[in-house]
Amino acid sequence: MRRRQILDAVAELLLEDGYDALTMSKAAARAGVAKGTVYLYFTSKQELLAALQGRMWERMLAEPAARLDQPDLSWTDRLDGLVADWLAVERTDHELYHLLFHELGAVGGEEPMHAARDLLVDLLRDGAAAGEFDVQNPELTADFLTHAYVGPCHHHPDQDVTDAVQTLFRRVVGVKATGDRNGKASG
């Protein structure tokens, strides 16, 4: 509870004043805890930022990971869900997302980014094995798609680009455009 409270306070401070103005004292004051309490959870500003990035990655990975294990969903539905989940997190907290990942970089390391990529690789590999996707190189395709999704989010933060990005992902992985939106033949 206190950890979350501190991270919420840090997010507010980052958005208000930026990373350079952030101090452990300000984080403690905003969270309503003693400075020593902040140090019980985090040893530095960098660690605070890494934890905040990690929390956002957890939000981006939890739903798609759970969806991968739902056999009643087509692989295309799982792909669409992954895109929708990623974009929802980015859109909901656009300013914080932009600050954490575009301006400040991967302070928390690249492991979460690799986890997101690996999740997509698994989805592409399994979808191709099931015959639903035409993907020859899941790793390279995942690299392309994870980078391709960032542009529309960054350049159109006030728009819901979900349909456009889902369509791009579907085309890249070879989902047929015929039939209903789920790529299934109609009728």
Tell whether 183 is covered by a domain: no
Instruction: Classify residue 103: in a domain, yes or no.
Output: yes
- Going residue by residue through the chain (187 aa), what tens digit of pLDDT does each one get? 899 999 999 999 999 998 889 999 999 999 999 999 999 999 998 899 888 888 888 887 888 888 888 889 999 999 999 988 888 877 777 788 777 776 666 555 566 677 888 999 999 999 999 999 999 999 999 999 988 877 776 677 667 788 888 999 999 999 965 444 444 443 3
Give the number of domains in the chain.
2
User: Has residue 56 been placed in a domain?
Assistant: yes
Q: Which two tokens stand for residue 13?
A: 């401070």
- Residue corresponding to tokens 């790793």: 139
Is residue 38 located within the same domain as residue 63? Answer: no
Q: Which pLDDT score is estimated for 133?
A: 96
Query: Alpha-carbon distance 56 to 52, whole Å?
Result: 6
Query: Is residue 38 classed exposed, middle or buried when 0-12, 13-18 and 19+ CB atoms within 10 A define those classes?
Result: buried
Mind spelling out the 3-state secondary structure of 55-83?
HHHHHHHHHHHHHHCCCCCCHHHHHHHHH
In a shared domain, residues 115 and 160 = yes
**What per-residue confidence (pLDDT) applies to 176?**
64
Residue 180 lies in a domain: no
Per-residue pLDDT, 185: 41
Q: pTM for the whole thing?
A: 0.74
Cα 34–1–89 angle (5° rounding)? 115
Looking at the fold, whether 39 and 56 belong to one and the same domain comes out as no
185 within domain boundaries: no
Same domain for 39 and 58, yes or no, is no
Query: 143 lies in a domain?
Result: yes
What is the span of the domain harbouring residue 84?
52-172
CATH of the domain at 37: 1.10.10.60
List all residues 6 or more positions away from 135 whose beta carbon is below 8 Å from its beta carbon. 124, 125, 127, 128, 141, 173, 174
The dihedral built from the CA positions of residue 49, 68, 162 and 175, taken in this order, carries a sign that is positive
Same domain, yes or no: 67 and 142: yes
120 neighbors 145 (Cβ within 8 angstroms): yes
Tell whether 92 is covered by a domain. yes
Kindly state whether residues 21 and 72 are assigned to the same domain.
Answer: no
On the 0-12 / 13-18 / 19+ scale of CB atoms within 10 A, 94 is middle
Q: Are the C-beta atoms of 46 and 107 separated by less than 8 Å? A: yes
Measured between alpha carbons, how far is 144 from 135 in angstroms, rounded to an integer? 12
Tell me the one-letter amino acid at 13: L
What is the predicted pLDDT for the residue at 97? 78
**Per the domain annotation, does 187 fall within a domain?**
no
Residues 59, 151 within the same domain: yes
Judgement on whether residues 18 and 76 belong to the same structural domain of the protein: no
Do 108 and 144 lie in one domain? The reply is yes
